[in-house]
Amino acid sequence: MTPPTLSSAELVDHLLNRIGEIDAAGPRLRSVVAVDPQARAAAIDRDAERRDGRVRGPLHGTPVLLKDNIDTVDLPTTAGSLALTTSRPRADASLVTRLRTAGAIVLGKTNLSEWANFRSTHAASGWSAVGGLTANPWALDRSAGGSSSGSGAAVAAGLAPLAVGSETDGSIVCPASLNGVVGIKPTVGLVPADGLVPISHSQDTAGPMARTVRGAAVLLDVLADTGGGFAAACSDQLSVHGLPDVRVGVARGYFVGHPPTDQVVEAALTLLSKAGAQLVDPADVPVLPAYDAGDDELTVLLTEFHHGVDAYLSGRTDGSPRSLAELVEFNRSNADTELAWFGQDLFERALARGGLDDPEYVAARTRGVRAARADGLDVALQRHELDLLIAPAFGPAWKSDLVNGDPRDVGTRCTSAPAVAGYPIVTLPGGLVGGLPVGIALLGGPGSEVTLLRVAQALEHALDLVASGALEPTFSPASPG
């Protein structure tokens, strides 16, 4: 979709034109909520630096889109809420500073599920009051997932080669899978979370989204400031040497029960076996429930959100609510726009939570971590001496429904245990089901990104979906079924 061998300025022009033709008009994906008016000037500067022999870093002159919950001083950061359109962050997030230092060009901000899908239990993924409803470029009536909806849809549609999303529980994995791109949810703490509009300090992380595993790895190297270790793991030699030293556990407990989706992973298992990987099938894994009333994860998220968002809002420039209580009142006063499709029950429940020293919160966090780590993923990985686990990421995208919100069961079980544990997930496109992408999730222990990326790269090469053009979205007005 992107012409080859363009200068940075030519590439930025091409992408801005494409955003105008496809995102703001044409199919109207609504994946980009703001473009940086200085992007072209920055691209011209990067081209001049390159001609002079100066290359800032691995992303020199590369345009990157940022989810609109990542602080930038020169662009609005709204989390999709009208309440934050009249104020600005006081500084760039640290990850944005790292991007700029590496030579990246911030092209703009992407739409998201408002407040990263933590305002209501009845929300529709991909909708925000600022950006409207993000459409899936494969079928415009289908969900782009959440909460990093715009980042996934924009990369799939060729609006930028790279984007940054964020995840608390599934918010990179879901849109990556539904839009047919690569997503990395890193080990919590690997990428600095300051300047990220918070939900949970114990689970939040930013992470890359890209068309290829190597592209995502290069971006992760910059976000994590690792000096190239992740990109080095994505060697083209993997297709030659195979994976004879890798033990992969098949997480049958995370299979979604949708035969065509599960079959995508079965086909990947055959490819891994041919590459020499040792499969352990099945590998026992914990299945934590998607959060609902009374769940430990939700207790933790509600408490940490109240604490974190109060601290975050107090640091914004004047003009926006300064606390969660003021934010709730703003939404009530602007109910015709903010509450047009769903309410703010999670906000109101968070207001009622105690502080971080509340015994109920401390006990819930302790129980959750034990269930996800020591009694869960750690046991599964250690019992079978596994390097990683494999499972479906999500099933095909569901039809968007602003009235009723997302279906209660959207076809995944693999994100909650790694979310609570703080462990990484790499998801890559596995194939098409009914003309819609479905992803494969690779899960590992803390700091296992190199292994996950190595296996993801080998699978990507064996599946041959990117090189064959099978992952070019169709922009169909509607999908069958």
Q: What is the pLDDT of residue 1?
A: 45
Catalytic residue chosen out of the listed positions 31, 67, 109, 320: 67
Q: Phi then psi for 416, rounded to 5 degrees?
A: -70, -45
Q: What is the pLDDT of residue 287?
A: 74
**Closest CA relative to residue 31, chosen from 121, 168, 170, 125:** 125
**Closest CA relative to residue 6, chosen from 156, 158, 183:** 158
Q: What is the pLDDT of residue 293?
A: 47
Catalytic residue flag (residue 314)? no
**Closest CA relative to residue 199, chosen from 136, 163, 148:** 148
Q: Taking the chain (481 residues) in consecutive chunks of 10 residues, what is each chunk's mean pLDDT?
A: 76 98 96 98 98 97 98 97 95 98 98 98 97 98 98 98 98 98 98 98 98 97 94 72 89 93 97 94 80 78 98 91 97 98 98 96 94 93 96 96 89 86 98 97 98 95 94 93 72
Tokens of 413: 């079980």
Catalytic residue chosen out of the listed positions 120, 147, 148, 166: 147
Q: Cα separation of 184 and 224, whole Å? A: 12
Q: Which residues contact 217 (CB under 8 A, 6 or more apart)?
A: 184, 208, 230, 231, 233, 234, 453, 457
- Determine how many CB atoms are found less than 10 A away from the CB of residue 360: 13
Please tell me the pTM assigned to this model.
0.97
Tokens 């939040």 found at? 204
Q: Cα separation of 120 and 342, whole Å? A: 7
Long-range CB pairs of 355-361 (<8 Å, 24+ gap) are 355/303, 355/307, 356/303, 356/304, 356/307, 358/303, 360/299, 361/299, 361/300, 361/303
Work out the end-to-end distance of the chain between its first and last CA atoms, rounded to an integer number of angstroms: 28
Q: What is the pLDDT of residue 239?
A: 58
Q: What is the pLDDT of residue 3?
A: 47
Catalytic residue chosen out of the listed positions 171, 400, 416, 448: 171
Catalytic residue flag (residue 67)? yes
Contact 161, 2 (CB under 8 A): yes
Q: Is 44 exposed, middle or buried (0-12, 13-18, 19+ CB in 10 A)?
A: middle
Task: Using DSSP, state whether 141 is helix, strand or coil.
Answer: strand
Q: What is the pLDDT of residue 410?
A: 67
Tokens of 253: 């407990």
Catalytic residue flag (residue 147)? yes
Q: Cα separation of 336 and 325, whole Å? A: 19
In the chain, the domains with their CATH numbers are 8-289+372-463 (3.90.1300.10), 296-370 (no CATH)
